[in-house]
């Protein structure tokens, strides 16, 4: 007979991938996290994601690559290991306050303006 806990563990959390990534980064030391660290945080806090890892990990990578709120930082020479760190964009950090994870058009414009200034 299944327990309530096992049923809850098998139910997909009502939280977006963007929120999962944000929580992982915000709860990590120095407010930055490797891809593996993001995966590990999600599996540690949301048992549903311990299964079918290849499937949901694709969505995590997709969100990191395409969402302007996340950016990659090279690994410091004093920290051995593989992979870069992911951080929340400092100019957009406060948009996560009070659980506000909605994507807004003005943020996309911000990204476009920033990239135009570098050319």
E strands, 3-118, where?
32-34, 70-73, 85-88
Domains of the chain and any CATH numbers: 4-117 (1.10.10.10)
- 69 Cα distance to chain centroid: 9
In order along its 119 residues, the chain shows pLDDT tens digits of 444 456 666 888 999 999 999 999 999 988 999 999 999 999 999 999 998 899 999 999 999 999 989 999 988 777 767 789 999 988 765 655 555 555 444 444 444 444 444 44
* 3, 47, 50, 74 alpha-carbon torsion, rounded to 10°: -170
This model's pTM is above 0.75:
no
């Amino acid at each position: 007979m299944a327990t309530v806990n096992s049923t809850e563990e098998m139910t997909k959390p009502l939280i977006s991938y963007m929120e999962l990534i944000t929580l992982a980064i915000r709860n990590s030391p120095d407010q930055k996290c490797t891809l593996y660290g993001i995966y590990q945080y999600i599996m540690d806090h949301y048992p549903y994601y311990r299964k079918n890892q290849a499937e949901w990990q694709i969505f995590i990578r997709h969100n990191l690559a395409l969402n302007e709120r996340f950016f990659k930082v090279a690994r410091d020479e004093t920290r051995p290991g593989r992979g870069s760190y992911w951080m929340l964009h400092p100019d957009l950090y406060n948009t996560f306050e009070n659980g506000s994870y909605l994507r807004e058009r003005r943020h996309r414009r911000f990204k476009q303006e920033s990239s135009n200034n570098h050319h």
